[in-house]
Homo-oligomer: A and B are copies of this chain.
Amino acid sequence: MKVYGDIYSGNCFKVRLVLDQLGIAYEWLAIDIMQSQTRTPEFLKKNPNGRVPLLELDDGRFLAESDAIIFYLASAKLLKANSLSLLPEDEFLRAQVLQWMFFEQYSHEPNVAVARYIKRYLGNPASEQARLNSKMPPGYKALDVMEQHLNSRTFFVNETYSLADVALYAYTHVAHEGGFEMQRYPHIQRWLARVAQLPNYRGMDE
């Protein structure tokens, strides 16, 4: 299979991490968001919503949305025998994983990732300060919810590493690049370290 992505995008990072951890072979096709390579007519034929990551199966079918892609990868019968299981079998636990994935896309990513985008990718221009400022309180609120949850847990669902951790790790581990003071969050910091020590982990810069 092929993945169209930009590895410095946390959403794309999720897909690479899951592919690596599940031991699935893939071809990575680098897409430069800043060069508007997701808005070309050719790319829009692949994903009419104009975003990466985008998965292309060997039969030519496409799948968009990072969390839908990693759900597919972890649920499909693609797993090698000795790979991690990233989705619980139990329907309620699986729904709890999805709960955190939807939390991530609704309450976390639009704030934490966008603050990082403004600071890191756009160079933190004066014209973006109002938007940046509007992202900080809801970003901290999402991080507060995570910190409270991790106060008594090692991973987000059922004390087991899952797609919920993958989805939330992606932009949390680079939240400082968006200006978030992560020293406020000792439980999140220990969880981040725990994820980074898992087998077949590879950082954004590796």
Majority secondary structure, A binding face:
helix
Is A103's CB under 8 angstroms from B65's CB?
Answer: yes
- Determine if A84 is an interface residue (Cβ-Cβ < 8 Å): no
In the complex, A186 has a CB within 8 A of chain B: no
Asked if A64 is at the interface of the complex by the 8 Å CB criterion, the answer is yes
Residue of B91, B106, B148 near A106 (CB, 8 A) is B106
* Size bracket of the A interface: 20 to 34
- Chain A stretch 95-139: residues in CB contact (< 8 A) with chain B: 95-96, 98-99, 101-103, 105-107, 109-110
Pick from B48, B66, B102: contact of A149, CB under 8 Å: B48
- Which A residues fall within an 8 A CB radius of B? 48-49, 57, 61, 63-69, 71-72, 75-77, 91-92, 94-96, 98-99, 101-103, 105-107, 109-110, 145, 148-149
